[in-house]
Amino acid sequence: MSLFTCNYFKDLELEVPCLSVTQPLLLQLGTISIITLLIAEKSAPAILVSLGAASEELFQGKQLPILKFPEIEKT
């Protein structure tokens, strides 16, 4: 058994290396995630408004092609 194995898993007969997560690593991950969420919060309304305007133009028919249907002969 090496020095880097956890004794917690000794009963399960697994040799899992101990992973120590330091406080600076947790602080960095937390800071990055919060900054990402703040940026997403600020940009989300503008993105949704532009997406709504684009879909409105699409459904108004400005960008849709004119379809030519064959005329049906009435007998």
Rounded Cα–Cα distance for residues 1 and 18 (Å):
13
Label residues 18-46 b or e (16+ Cβ within 10 Å = b). eeeeeeeeeeeeeeeeeeeeeeeeeeeee
- Any idea what DSSP says for residue 13? T
Rounded Cα–Cα distance for residues 14 and 12 (Å):
5
**Residue 6, pLDDT above cutoff 60:** no
**pLDDT tens string 17-67:** 666 668 888 899 999 999 999 999 999 999 999 999 888 877 776 666 778
Show the beta-strand stretches assigned E in 1-75: none
